[in-house]
Amino acid sequence: MDNSKSIVFCDALEVLDSNQEVLKDVCSDIKLFKIELSQYYQLTDILLKALTSEEVKRAQRYHQLKDSNRFIICRALLKYVIAEEKGLDISQIHFEKKANHKPYFPLDRSLFFNVSHAGDFAVIALGNCELGIDVEQIDSNFKYSDILSSVFSVEEINFISHSEFERRTFYKFWTRKEAIVKATGKGIDEEFINIPVLDGAHFVSSSLVDGFKNIEVHSFNLNADHTAAIAYTDKNKGIIFCKIPKAETLLTFFNE
């Protein structure tokens, strides 16, 4: 019987906002790229050129045009930031999947990435360890009370219920759990409720986090209506927001 323990540490994050657009000149363990999706909808036909035939077919399978466009934008910009990070041509950027269906970059297995989107925002995370990012739009009409008992512990439910900003706290805790299972590659299962997400350090069974010994989770807001969390399987990592060029700059890049 495996009795090994792991540490899950959660807190809020003051993310350093970089004004640099030259991605390879920004030094950090983890880089976050915030995408305001509406700024790139006009580029979808151009961005589509960066996708493989299989990725194009995936985009075409979405029933809603906005979902298809969102996939195209996120996948093309993910390839763009990796190409810039590694000094490669964007045509060299392709992905494969592990046994747990988590994608990876076969040309550099030491580079890890994850993408999440909600509402009008997406975030790409790049780093040097396994990581997960989750973004949620705070929905004032969502009846989250219906699912509290199935995804949160009694202590977490009590904290949410007594919070001054109850709805925002729900989404903060939800994004933390989602980010953790994305980082570990386990996905949402019956153990989801047992993943601790209150602020502070928690000792848990290592099996709960797929054997990783350290999980750090940091919450941050994208704006008043969107919140996010980044989780990674290491500790004391430097995190920075990097800029993605504006649409007109990318238009030139993808048309070259």
Low-confidence ranges of the chain (pLDDT < 70): 1-2, 14-27, 256
30-36 sheet: strands from edge to edge: 16-17, 239-242, 30-36, 121-127, 112-118
* Element holding 45 (H helix, E strand): helix 44-47
* Count of CB atoms situated within 10 Å of the CB of 179: 29
Give the pLDDT of residue 75: 97
CATH number, residue 158: 3.90.470.20
Q: Which of 127, 111, 105, 222 is nearest to 175 (CA)?
A: 222
Give the pLDDT of residue 1: 45
Q: Residue 41 and residue 29: Cα distance in Å, rounded?
A: 30
First CA to last CA distance, the chain = 57
64 to 40, 60, 67, 70: CA distances (angstroms): 17, 9, 5, 10
Residue 219 one-letter amino acid: S
3-state DSSP assignment of residue 79: helix
How many domains is the chain built from? 1
Q: Residue 119 and residue 140: Cα distance in Å, rounded?
A: 13
pLDDT tens digit string along 99-109?
888 899 999 99
Can you give the residue range of the structural domain that contains 16? Answer: 5-255
Query: Beta-strand (E) ranges in 79-213?
Result: 96-97, 103-104, 112-118, 121-127, 131-137, 200-205
